[in-house]
Structure formats: structure tokens, C-alpha cells
Amino acid sequence: MTTLPKSRARGKLPARYASIVMPLVLSILMTFVVSGISTLKSLGATEAFLATWPAAWGISWLVAFPTLLAVLPLVRRIVAMVVAPPAAD
């Protein structure tokens, strides 16, 4: 009988994908909130808001995700210059 390795939790991606999944999730959540607030402020709570928001969110996500992929290494370097590393035990 063959058994599967138990090193990976069922249904989870390998750790090597974290550098793509983190900006993906971040860009989805941030653009969802920001485009919603911006569209609501522009149009008010109307039917036009509900019709416009999905397109506004989609366009903003199409810009945000590649931008995050491009600038994340720079942001990590800036944060490393500003924040002290954790103390070694």
C-alpha cells in the first residue's frame, strides 16, 4: 500500500507560492475596499453604485496586482532599513 507524504497540508499550496499568493490576496482585498469607498463617495448609495463598482474594482485590481509584484521587493528593503530585526533567542 502506498501512502502520501504528510509534509503538506491537504489543499494548501507549497510555501514557494507565498510570494505570489500574498500580493494576490492583498491586492484583491485592498482594491475591493478602496474602489468601493471611492465609487460610493462619487455616486452615493444608488443603483449606479452597484452597477459601477464591480468594473471599478476589476480595473483597479488589474493595476494593483502587477504593481504589488513589482514594488514588493523594494518595500521589503525599505522596511528592513526602518525596522529592527527580531532578537535571536
Please write the tens of the pLDDT for every residue from 18-28: 989 999 999 99
Q: What angle do CA 2, 15, 60 make, to 5 degrees?
A: 130
* pLDDT for 8: 58
Is 76 within a domain? yes
Q: Quote the number of domains for the chain.
A: 1
Query: What cell was used for 56?
Result: 471599478
Q: Could you report the per-residue pLDDT of 43-70, keeping only the tens digit for each? A: 999 999 999 999 999 999 999 999 999 9
Residue of 23, 28, 27, 17 lying closest to 74 (CA atoms): 23
- The residue range of the domain holding 55 is 17-82
64 vs 17: CA distance, rounded Å: 19
Q: Within a domain: residue 26?
A: yes
Task: Read off the pLDDT of each residue in 29-55 and give the average, rounded to a whole number.
Answer: 95
User: Does 4 have pLDDT greater than 60?
Assistant: no
In this predicted structure, the answer to whether residue 3 has a pLDDT above a threshold of 90 is: no
User: Higher confidence at residue 73 or residue 5?
Assistant: 73
> Within a domain: residue 4?
no
